[in-house]
Amino acid sequence: MYPSLFKIGPIVIHAYGLLLAVSFLVGILWAMKRGEKRGIPGNDVMDAGLITVVSAIVGSRLFYVVTHVDEFRGRWLDTVNPFQSDGEIGLAGLSMLGGVLFAVAAIAVFCIHKKIRVFRFFDAAAPSLAFGLGLTRIGCFLNGCCFGKPGDHPWCMAFPEQSPAGAFLPGLRLHPTQLYSSVYDFLMLAVLLLVDRKKRADGFLSALFFVLYGIFRFSIDFVRYYESSVQFRFLGMAFTYNQLISLFMALFGLVLMALISRRKAGKE
C-alpha cells in the first residue's frame, strides 16, 4: 500500500487526496466541454463543479456521522472536526455514496436556480462522475480503506497492518473491493460513452448511470467489510444502509427510463 506517495518539505502528498483532486479537476474540465455541446455555459459548469467539491465532502461526512453516531457520543464537536484523535489531518470518516447523493441534490438546486435543464446537465456530467469514481477507488486501494471481507480467491490479499484494512483484519486475505469498484466504474464509463454516441433524450444517460451504479453498489456490499452499526437484517439476511440507498437509486433510474420512453412514444 502507498497511502503517502511523496513529501515536499513538510507537506505529505497522500494517494487518496491526490487522485481525488485529479478526478475533480479532469471531471470538471471534461464536463465543461460536454456541457458546452449541450448549450450549457462553461462558467456555469465550473461553478457547479466547485459546488460539487464542497457538497461531496459535506455529504460524505454527514452520511458517515449519521451511520456512526455511537462513535461521537460525548464528543459531538468531532463530527465537524477534520483532525483525528492523534492530531493528524485525514480523510477518515467519509462515505463516498453520501457525497454522491449530496452533490447530486446540490447540483439539482443549482440548475433550477440557473434555469438549466437538470437532466441535461447530469447527462453532460455523468461520464465525469464515473471517471472520478473509478480513479478515486484506486486511491482507496492505495490507502487501504473501503476494503472487503475475508476471502480465499487467488486475487484476495492481505493488507499491511498500518493500513485501515490491516488494522481491522490483520493477517487475513481480503477481497480488494476497491479494485472491483474501480474496474466496474471504468466499464460503466465505457458504456455511458458508447450509449452517448447516439443522440438521446435528456435524462436517459443520467437514468442509465443511476441504474448501473445502483445495481453494482448494492451487489459489491455483500463482499465489502462494514461495521455492524451500519447493517440491518431483513428476511434473515444482513444488508447495509448503502445497499438500501443503492436500491432506490437503481429503481429511480428505471422509473426515469420508463418515463422517458413513454414521453418519446407519445411524440411519435
> What phi, psi does 251 have (nearest 5°)?
-65, -40
- Distance (Å, whole) CA 174 – CA 76: 33
Give the pLDDT confidence score for residue 252 in this predicted structure: 95
Burial 53-88 (b: 16+ CB within 10 A, else e): bebbbbbbbbbbbebeeeeeeeeeeebeeeeeeeee
Going by the DSSP 8-state scheme, the letter that residue 224 receives in this structure is: B
Question: pLDDT band at 85, cuts 50/70/90?
Answer: very low
Radius of gyration of the chain from its Cα atoms, rounded to whole angstroms:
19
Sequence length of the chain is: 268
Give the pLDDT confidence score for residue 79 in this predicted structure: 61
Give the pLDDT confidence score for residue 68 in this predicted structure: 67
Question: pLDDT band at 267, cuts 50/70/90?
Answer: low
Q: How is residue 89 written as a grid cell?
A: 489531518
For residue range 231-243, list pLDDT tens digits in order.
777 777 788 888 9
Name the least confident of 38-47, 54-63, 159-168: 54-63
Give the pLDDT confidence score for residue 235 in this predicted structure: 78
Question: pLDDT band at 77, cuts 50/70/90?
Answer: low
Query: Average pLDDT of 85-89?
Result: 37
For residue range 176-215, list pLDDT tens digits in order.
999 999 999 999 999 999 999 998 999 999 999 999 999 9
Give the pLDDT confidence score for residue 86 in this predicted structure: 39
Contact 158, 174 (CB under 8 A): yes
What DSSP string runs through 99-118? HHHHHHHHHHHHHHHHT--H
For residue range 32-45, list pLDDT tens digits in order.
999 999 999 999 99
- Which residues face 238 on adjacent strands? 233
Contact 48, 122 (CB under 8 A): no
Q: How is residue 260 written as a grid cell?
A: 422517458
On the question of pLDDT at 8 being above 90, the answer is no
- Distance (Å, whole) CA 142 – CA 165: 11
Q: How is residue 197 written as a grid cell?
A: 454516441
For residue range 100-131, list pLDDT tens digits in order.
888 889 999 999 999 999 999 999 999 999 99
SS3 content of the chain, % helix, strand, coil (to 5): 65, 10, 25
For residue range 216-265, list pLDDT tens digits in order.
999 999 999 987 767 777 777 788 888 998 999 999 999 999 999 888 76
Q: Where are the domains of the chain?
A: 4-141+162-267
